[in-house]
Amino acid sequence: MADNITNAPKLPPGPKITPFELIAELLKGDPQIVRDPYRYFSGLHDKYGDLVYSDFGVGSFYITDNLALIRKVFVAEPRNYAKADAYLEAAHFLGNGILNSEGEMWQTQRAMVQPAFTKSRLNAFISTMLETGAKATANLPSQVDVSELAMHIALENICRFLFSSDFAANEKTIRAAVEFGNNFISRRIQMPFKLPVYFPSVSNLRFFWHRFELDQILYRIIDERLASPKQDAVDLLGMLLLAEKENNSGKIRKEQVRDEIITLLIAGHETTGYTLAMALWLIAADSSLQQRLRAEADAAMASGAVDFEKCPLSEAVVNETLRLYPAAWIIGRKLKADEIFEGYLLKSGAQLQTGIIALHRNPKYWSDPDSFKPERFLGENAEPAVKQAFMPFGAGPRKCIGSVFAMLEMQTAIYAILKDYRLSRVAGAEPKVEYLFTARLKEALPVIFDRL
């Protein structure tokens, strides 16, 4: 419940920015929040504390890493908050899929998709993930762009999960559309003044062209599936079509199915691809860690597939990657009503943002926060002591539906690679991250792959 509003509540402290200063900053290029979000959020925290307010010259924004507020917004009272406005921009690409929707519609969608993510279904999918990994790593050169490799593995896994097909022939089109879409949506989120999306500018037209190309592929897949009823429910598309028929007296709303599928495809592709690439780069610096990961997975082999519940180190490696390099580097909500929090006014209609990237390195919750130390997630004194200080997949009822899928596919891919290769860093090759709607690698990230 929101606290009662007392007399003359004040706004939290924060930077004062005039529209002119904002324009001058934008003319210089990308603002600091996307150039270096970690320093941006930690700088605000150091200067103003854990709840910051600014209108940034364009609207009302709160930036917080106050865990009590984060728990309230995401876990305790999620219905009192809407998804941040950024999701309205994403809707140009994703439509009314589960990531954007609210209220009853979201509940119905979540109930419809959830059965695809049960433990038994996901465990059964590990052998497919291992196959994807083995195929992708069969004939690698001695130096591999891990960003390319990881994006390929992530796309193949999600396509096989959604449609039981790797869609190799469409990979280029799908990846180009996802990449352009992420870029386009992110630029729109950052721009305080923007043209309507239907204005025929070059960039808008290019966006609609990519969306059209992707839609052509998705509608073809849906039509083919409708024409071959045998495959009902073997994969997520089959489950969605069955649920559609049941919920709509036999009718299929193809556009809605498209929205669900594209959401899962996009939510599950670049996020995992980026994290996996970063994990490979991180473990490439430590051959003894690689040896321990290999040994752990070999020991957990049961009837041809690895039981990842018996692989705490591999889980810790992925968690530590997600801590240092969270693909979802910022998560936001919109306030639906005025309320008071710790004596400060939270205004209805304002955006409330949490810089996950800085929360994950906040020295209050993490020892030696900038170092890669997977062991911090293991043992009796595992970090963080406070749960919400680590939320790479969000929290509460809107937590990522694909979190276990993502963990398993990354653990599987790491194992598939380490089984055959010893990795090491290429001198001077550093990741260049761009902070779009989700983070991604801007350039190739070469890593040395020596066959064992």
Q: How far is the CB of 333 from ligand HEM (least distance, A)?
A: 7
Q: Does 355 bind ligand HEM (CB under 6 A)?
A: no
Do the Cβ atoms of 423 and 430 come closer than 8 Å?
A: no
Tokens of 240: 């969605």
Do the Cβ atoms of 386 and 359 come closer than 8 Å?
A: no
Q: How far is the CB of 27 from ligand HEM (least distance, A)?
A: 31
> What is the Cα–Cα distance from 391 to 361, expressed in whole angstroms?
12
Looking at 99, 129, 241, 317, which residue binds ligand HEM (CB under 6 A)? 99
Q: How far is the CB of 116 from ligand HEM (least distance, A)?
A: 8
Do the Cβ atoms of 95 and 104 come closer than 8 Å?
A: no
∠ CA 181-443-130, rounded to 5°: 80
Q: Does 297 bind ligand HEM (CB under 6 A)?
A: no
> What is the Cα–Cα distance from 331 to 336, expressed in whole angstroms?
16
Q: In 3D, which of 83, 121, 111 has the Cα closest to residue 404? A: 121
Q: 83 vs 160, which CB is nearer to ligand HEM?
A: 83
Q: 335 vs 345, which CB is nearer to ligand HEM?
A: 335
Q: 391 vs 418, which CB is nearer to ligand HEM?
A: 391
Using the Cα atoms of residue 242, residue 245, residue 246 and residue 248 in order, give the sign of their dihedral. positive
Q: 221 vs 345, which CB is nearer to ligand HEM?
A: 221
Residues in contact with ligand HEM, shown as a per-residue x/- string from 392 to 431 under the rule CB under 6 A: xxx---x-xxx--xx-------------------------
Question: In this structure, which amino acid lies at residue 124?
Answer: A
Looking at 42, 137, 271, 314, which residue binds ligand HEM (CB under 6 A)? 271
Looking at 275, 319, 362, 411, which residue binds ligand HEM (CB under 6 A)? 275
Do the Cβ atoms of 256 and 244 come closer than 8 Å?
A: yes
User: Between β-strands 351-354 and 331-335, what pairing exists: parallel, antiparallel or unpaired?
Assistant: antiparallel
Q: How far is the CB of 239 from ligand HEM (least distance, A)?
A: 13
Q: Provide the greatest CA pair distance for the chain.
A: 70
Please give the residues from 128 up to 167 whose contact with ligand HEM meets the rule CB under 6 A: 158
Q: Does 328 bind ligand HEM (CB under 6 A)?
A: yes
Name the residue number minimizing CB distance to ligand HEM: 402
Q: How many CB atoms lie within 10 A of CB 367?
A: 11
Residues that bind ligand HEM (CB under 6 A): 83, 98-99, 110, 158, 263-264, 267-268, 271-272, 275, 327-328, 331, 392-394, 398, 400-402, 405-406
